[in-house]
Amino acid sequence: MTGFAGWEMPAQYQGIRAEHLAVRQRAGVFDVSHMGQIKTCGPQATELLQRLLSGDLRKLPKGGAQYGVICREDGGVLDDVITYRLAECEYLTVSNAANHERDLAWFSSHARGYNADVIDLIDRFAMLAVQGPEARAIVDELADGPLPIRMRVCERSVGSRPVTICGTGYTGEDGVELLLDPADAPAVWDALIAAGAVPAGLGARDTLRLEACFPLYGNELSEGRGPIEAGLGWCCAEATGFIGSDAVARTRKSDASASGPAEKSVPAQRLVAFVLDGPGIARPGNPISQGGTVTSGTLSPSLERGIGMAYVPAERATPGTPLTIDVRGTERGATVHRKPIYSKEA
Q: How far is Cα 133 from Cα 125, in angstroms, rounded to an integer?
A: 25
Residues 6+ positions from 306 with CB-CB distance below 8 Å: 275, 276, 279, 280, 281, 282, 297, 298, 299, 300, 332, 334
CB of 327 to other proteins, least distance (A): 9
- Residue 173: CB minimum distance to other proteins, A: 18
Q: How far is the CB of 19 from other proteins (least distance, A)?
A: 10
Q: How many residues does the chain have?
A: 346
| In the complex, least distance from residue 253 CB atom to other proteins, rounded to whole angstroms | 39
Nearer to other proteins, 35 or 327 (CB): 327
Question: Smallest distance, Å, CB 298 to other proteins?
Answer: 6
Element (H, E) at 22: helix 16-25
Measuring CA to CA, which residue among 123, 147, 118, 130 is closest to residue 196? 130
Closer by beta carbon to other proteins, 98 or else 281: 281
Site residues for other proteins per CB under 8 A: 11-12, 15-17, 203, 206-207, 279-281, 283, 298-299, 301, 306, 328, 330
The sign of the torsion formed by the CA atoms of 226, 210, 158, 101 equals: negative
Between 20 and 270, whose beta carbon lies closer to other proteins?
Answer: 20
Q: Which helix (H) or strand (E) holds 177?
A: strand 175-180
Residue with Cβ nearer other proteins (131 or 302): 302
In the complex, minimum distance from the CB of residue 16 to other proteins, in angstroms, rounded to a whole number: 4
CA distance 131 to 136: 8
CB 204 to other proteins: min, Å: 9
The end-to-end CA distance of the chain, in Å, is: 34
| Rounded-to-integer distance, Cα 234 and Cα 236, Å | 6
Residue partners of 27: CB distance under 8 A and separation at least 6 = 130, 131, 132, 133, 134, 135, 137, 138, 175, 196, 197, 198
User: DSSP letter at 238?
Assistant: G
Q: Which is nearer to other proteins, 15 or 186 (CB)?
A: 15
Q: Which residues, other chains included, contact 291 with Cβ-Cβ below 8 Å and sequence gap of 6+? A: 267, 269, 312, 313, 316
